[in-house]
Amino acid sequence: MARLPAGIRFIISFSRDQWYRTFIFILTFLLYASFHLSRKPISIVKSELHKYCAAENEADVRFNSQSQKANARPAHQLLDNETDCSWAPFDRDNYQQLLGALDYSFLCAYAIGMYLSGIIGERLPIRYYLTFGMLASGIFTALFGLGYFYNIHSFGFYVVTQIINGLVQTTGWPSVVTCLSNWFGKGRRGLIMGVWNSHTSVGNILGSLIAGYWVSTCWGLSFIVPGAIVAAMGVVCFLFLIEHPKDIACSTTLVAHAKSYENGVHRFRLQKQALPDKKKLLDPEVQCLLLSDGKRAVHQNHVVTLPAEGGGSMAAISFTGALKIPGVVEFSLCLLFAKLVSYTFLFWLPLYITNVDHLDAKKAGELSTLFDVGGIFGGILAGVISDRLEKRASTCGLMLLLAAPTLYIFSTISRMGLEATVAMLLLCGALVSGPYALITTAVSADLGTHKSLKGNSHALATVTAIIDGTGSVGAALGPLLAGLISPSGWNNVFYMLMFADACALLFLIRLIHKELSCPGSASGHQVPFKEH
């Protein structure tokens, strides 16, 4: 018999379950990356909405200096109100407050809606709920850009568009986290979700590049194209998203014979299981296929078991019930301040680079993507460390402790040249995004399947929504405060961010102490492999 081609051997070395899990991993990654892709354009377009047009104004300044007495207006006032280049109503002296109000409108609506979204999401099919949110988000993202083509200068129009967009985008996070947690157990959750959570940075990078391509020529397309992408991904979600392994009988069929395949890197083994008693049926998510951790051989008596579904008898957890889960309040408040810092960078970094490094909107947007590149590595590093140490809070605390002085250094040396800015953007991105990524993914999933819930999986979406909703309050406050503080100097903005990092660390002190004195108990993180 002829030897199978290498490609075919690679394909059959993985089980049906593994292929489905990989598919869901990639699909949910792309779905939420498209959400972040649609949030980024506003930060890129800010410098175009209020544009400093020195070239066009030079002649006007000279003319104004000659006729200053006749006009009774000083020359510098023309530069304070560049109506020839800026987009009304953002051509006013208080443009930074107006731009900050746009950010606040979106993020405040997002924070309020997130508390309701998890509760609603637990009672509706995830696929339909997420599809609706993505289609609606695509429409309202594009609607903001239509203001350019229809010459709309009403501040209220842009605020209302941001508010509605913020509300519908709350459908995304609880849905994708719940779906991913349905498919993956606790084993290596930090690493898996650390890699998966890089969708935030990937979406920000793509959003910056797409918005930057049109920002200087036709900024309306900077919103319309991302809006179309989100809506298209909503259609993909409707057609392909599988909410739960049991929907396609994944990991439920009993394996008749033990088989092993080797692809040259890892060894996989299918385990033969005894037929369980009908009264003690395991959850459909019992994983029959085990992956070696590279240090130990995979023993035949090892199985990975997820918390039981509990059947249909367990009702969805209440809001107050979710708050009583140990660690939910502390991590929620920590995320409030961590997300404040992260979203201030998300919405204001391109404008800061434009002002400090004197780059145009397109180049500033491209340079700001380095912060998100650092965020990818930070999220993965936080997941790996927390998995190895089994200390989620301590990992977050260490990165927060290092982030505060790093922010101060960034504010100091970013004025020294482009090379220093590049290096510090990567480092700041890793330290700022690491705790944020870990809390919103692995920690939320740990707490949503905490042992105190006794197998009630209906708590996951509510816990995720509470944690991310509280964090979104900080996300709303950060850009707003940056808009109010930045006129007094960018240094003051960085002092605010350092104070926020210190507050985030403060709320984790009790959990860090608990982890160090009683390992594995602070965030409900459990030993992933159970021997039978």
Taking only the tens place, the pLDDT of each residue in 496-522 is: 999 999 999 999 999 999 988 875 555
**Tokens at residue 21, please?**
């899990």
Q: Judging by beta carbons within 10 Å of its beta carbon (0-12, 13-18, 19+), is residue 1 exposed, middle or buried?
A: exposed
The candidate with the shortest Cα–Cα distance to 283, out of 240, 244, 322, 316, is: 244
pLDDT, residue 170, reads 93
SS3 384: helix
pLDDT, residue 251, reads 61
Eight-class DSSP state of 265 = S
pLDDT, residue 453, reads 58
pLDDT, residue 466, reads 85
pLDDT, residue 178, reads 85
Helix H segments across 197-264? 199-214, 221-240
Spans of the chain below 50 pLDDT: 55-83, 252-313, 525-532
pLDDT, residue 144, reads 96
Eight-class DSSP state of 287 = B
The answer to whether the predicted template modeling score (pTM) of the entire model surpasses 0.85 is no
Buried b or exposed e, range 292-301, using 16+ CB within 10 angstroms: eeeeeebeee
pLDDT, residue 62, reads 41
| Number of neighbouring beta carbons within 10 Å of residue 384 | 16
Domains along the sequence of the chain with CATH: 14-49+92-244+317-517 (1.20.1250.20)
pLDDT, residue 501, reads 93
pLDDT, residue 66, reads 45
pLDDT, residue 483, reads 84
